[in-house]
Amino acid sequence: MENLEPCLSPWLRVEYEYVAKVLDDLVFTNVKNPHMKAELSKLAPTFSEDVAEYVARRNLKKVIVLDPKGEEELTPKDLRDCDAVVIGGIMGDYPPKGRTWELITRRLPNPIPRNLGKEQLTIAGAAYVLRQIMMGHALRDLEFVDGLRISLSLGVAELEIELPYRFPCEGGKIVLPENYIEIVARRSVFYESEEACEEEQSP
């Protein structure tokens, strides 16, 4: 998991916690923030070096990058003999800005870019889909829903947040990290702001 965010907001934390639950042999790379590194180290091995440095130092040859700009879809066959799969730890923009390609794929010497469909997934959603493909399922056989609308009453006002991403489903139910809706609806307004990152990084 190549981290590309400056601080560990509650929203990002719940995404990463979910990834740690569904994927074995997970490592976090490019974690520069000391507080963030200490927290993520509780979930998986965590490194300050970025993914390009990590790959080079370990001489990894076949590295798949889950990149929406990849021309081919990820298949179970792709995963049989690869050395690593890279997920971008990016809180997505909509429409996407191509940051995975710019910040990860093009910086690796011989990357193998693969997409998980045409629509943008969350970090947790990408991890779930990757796990399903690792188990031998084809992408076309998985169930998805496009967009999620969250409504929450805040006493005198109603808060409505619309997430324009694609979410995987299982048995007709959207697959989400624990407490995801509460965290997104109640805390994102403050914690996803630059002020929250500056506050976390201050001594």
pLDDT tens-digit readout, 73-83: 999 999 999 99
pLDDT tens-digit readout, 51-96: 999 999 999 999 999 999 999 999 999 999 999 999 998 886 777 7
> Of the candidates 106, 126, 134, 160, which has an alpha carbon nearest to the alpha carbon of residue 1?
126
**Taking a C-beta distance cutoff of 8 angstroms, is the pair 90, 15 a contact?**
no
Whether pLDDT at 42 is above 60:
yes
Q: CA 182 to CA 188: how far, in whole Å?
A: 9
Q: CA 34 to CA 200: how far, in whole Å?
A: 10
pLDDT tens-digit readout, 98-129: 899 999 999 999 999 999 998 999 999 999 99
Q: Is the entire prediction scored with pTM above 0.85?
A: yes
Q: CA 147 to CA 164: how far, in whole Å?
A: 4
Average pLDDT, the chain: 89
Residue 168: domain span = 2-201
pLDDT tens-digit readout, 159-180: 788 899 999 999 999 999 999 9
Q: 């050395």: which residue's tokens?
A: 83
CATH code, 94: 3.40.1280
Domain total of the chain: 1
